[in-house]
Structure 1
Amino acid sequence: MSERITGAGGADGTGGAAPAPRGQLRTIAARFARHRPAVASLAVLAALALFAFAGPLLWQWDHTVSPDIPSSAEPSGAHPLGTTSAGNDVLGQLMRGVQQTLKVAFTVTVLATVLGSVWGAVAGYFRGWVDAVMMRLVDVLLIVPLLVVVAAVGGNVRGGTTWYGVALVIAAFSWTPISRVVRGVVLSLREQEFVEAARAAGASHARIILRHLLPNAAGPIIVAATLLIAVAILVEAAMSFLGFGIQAPDVSLGLMVQNAKTAAFTRPWLFYPPGLTIVLIALVINFIGDGLRDALDPRQAMVRG
């Protein structure tokens, strides 16, 4: 008998979305495991996170300038990625850069996903003038180039050059695509029987949205959130490159590229490690997103039990 994902049938009698059965979770995991690029990308992302957060505990040099580090040294056993003209170990900088970039990306994703999901769910649930007003604001934000507005705001907000300041600024303007995705899903869910049952049982609007609608939109939300990680990484890198993001004495991948933009051919060990790392992180995140999309697609054939 085939298993299928359904929104109805909560154990509380209100027709709420019940937790996914263990068989469904195994099926989703099996689908994801069959997506080899996604599995390989997940392993690469885990290795990068380990490099960024555990590496500084093991490596003797951090991202700061040290009088014991020779200036403009080529890669060697003591400094595998060379050093900067100011006396920074590039490997130590790369660890710190990946760490800061990942912290910004995942913070942006959590904040923007929560805000965008709730905004889109409210608009789709109430429809009418509420939907019209809320989505017109989304349309206005969508037509403004994201990089331009976050750079302008980030450069004029106190604390905007710290990693959490950069994350807050990016999150404040990057939630709109998720809100549109969630709104579309909620528009199709709000007329389902389990929502009608919840209304008949006296559930409040907030409970219907948070307890019944958003859990049933989890698949599209997870996929959209995964892709938002890659967007946040690229936007943070661009902001730092333009001088509106994380600034010295801290470091990010974008700032490393900006500082080494004139040394791409003369001292390539300064330019290419952070630049290629940005590309690598964005690629693996997109592959993971593709794998999650395929695994959560309800049109895929479920494993039969």
Structure 2
Amino acid sequence: MVWRRFRRHRAAMVSLVFLGLITAFAFVGPFVWPWDHTVSRDILGNQPPSLQHPFGTTNQGNDVFAQTMRGTQQSLKVALTVAVLSTVIGSVWGAVAGYYRGRVDAIMMRVVDVFLIVPLIVAVAAINGNVRGGTTWYAVALIMCLFSWATIARVVRGVVLSLREQEFIEAARAVGARASRIIFRHLLPNAAGPIIVAATLLVAVAVLTEAALSFIGFGIQPPDISLGKMVEGSRTAAFTRPWLFYPPGILIVMICLTINFIGDGLRDALDPRQTMVRR
């Protein structure tokens, strides 16, 4: 039923296809493309788009098409890692707080409040700039995850506070089910809808955050590359050499748009109160 309702959301289905193509471009493309993202002596620098180099080349002798594939791959890896880890941590934290309530809930939610009031980009930039190895994609992803789980924790807590008063939870308590079983076997599966939607939207937030960090110099650094780093490196060439600036910028926008439309479709498909068929 959920899949049928999701398929009726045309924007979400089109976005799903586009996201699949972008993912294939990022992860399969490097295996079939003759150039990689590094500098090559066989590549002439500062060349406009051509059949051999569809996105042109940089001053240093990089193939921009290969850089775009690598940058998309690294940005997606960061975003997916942040989404998965933050969703797991935030879901468990919020479910435990919502189930136990009282003093446990108060203490755990004050911790969440601390992470929520800290500006994400400022915090990640401060930590990333002082951590050895912070320029690698997985270090960037782990540091971003530290400050991204709190939003999901608050969403899950609100859902669990409602679910814990339902009859099936009372029945589980009556038969002697342990708290851990109730949380992981009953509460979290029934909160899957909001969790999936929040996790989907977190992917888009992570893509934008990584791009912003790379743009200000605290994200992935050379010799590796990301979409944000490509935009930062070509910001002065937007009008003189647009083939350097627009491909990574357009891909960032496309990834975020497709993820948001997919999240919108999942919200409609998982919401039992939603009866409108999107056109």
State the TM-score, normalizing by the size of structure 1.
0.89
| C-alpha distance in 2 between matches for 1:185 and 1:158 | 39
Choose which of 217, 226, 232 in structure 1 pairs with 2:191.
217
Question: Does residue 251 of the first structure (1) align with residue 225 of the second (2)?
Answer: yes
State the TM-score, normalizing by the size of structure 2.
0.97
The two structures, once aligned, show a CA RMSD in angstroms of 1.2
Choose which of 33, 41, 48 in structure 2 pairs with 1:74.
48
Alignment of 1:47-196 (within 5 A): 47-196=21-170
| C-alpha distance in 1 between matches for 2:87 and 2:110 | 19
Q: Indicate the structure (1 or 2) with the bigger Cα radius of gyration.
A: 1
Residue 158 of structure 1 and its aligned partner are, at CA, apart by 2.0
Residue 156 of structure 1 and its aligned partner are, at CA, apart by 1.3
Identity %: 71
Please give the secondary structure, in 2, of the residue aligned with 1:61. coil
Cα deviation 1:84-126 (Å, max 9, x = unaligned): 0011000000000000011111110000000000000011000
Alignment-mate amino acid for residue 58 of structure 2 = T
Please give the secondary structure, in 1, of the residue aligned with 2:232. helix
Q: Cα–Cα, structure 1 residues 123 and 277, in superposed 2: closer, same or farther, change >3 Å?
A: same
Alignment-mate amino acid for residue 191 of structure 1 = E
Residue 301 of structure 1 and its aligned partner are, at CA, apart by 4.6
Question: Does residue 273 of the first structure (1) align with residue 234 of the second (2)?
Answer: no
Alignment-mate amino acid for residue 47 of structure 1 = L
Q: What 5-or-longer segments of structure 2 have no aligned partner? A: none
Please give the secondary structure, in 2, of the residue aligned with 1:136. helix
Question: Does residue 282 of the first structure (1) align with residue 256 of the second (2)?
Answer: yes
Choose which of 240, 265, 270 in structure 2 pairs with 1:291.
265
User: 1:24 maps to what in 2?
Assistant: none
User: 1:43 maps to what in 2?
Assistant: 17
Residue 300 of structure 1 and its aligned partner are, at CA, apart by 2.7
Cα deviation 1:29-77 (Å, max 9, x = unaligned): 1111110000000000000000011101111001000000001011111
Residue 240 of structure 1 and its aligned partner are, at CA, apart by 0.7
Question: Does residue 240 of the first structure (1) align with residue 214 of the second (2)?
Answer: yes
| C-alpha distance in 2 between matches for 1:127 and 1:261 | 50
| C-alpha distance in 2 between matches for 1:164 and 1:60 | 26
| C-alpha distance in 2 between matches for 1:106 and 1:63 | 22
Q: Alignment length, in residue pairs? A: 277
Alignment of 1:224-235 (within 5 A): 224-235=198-209
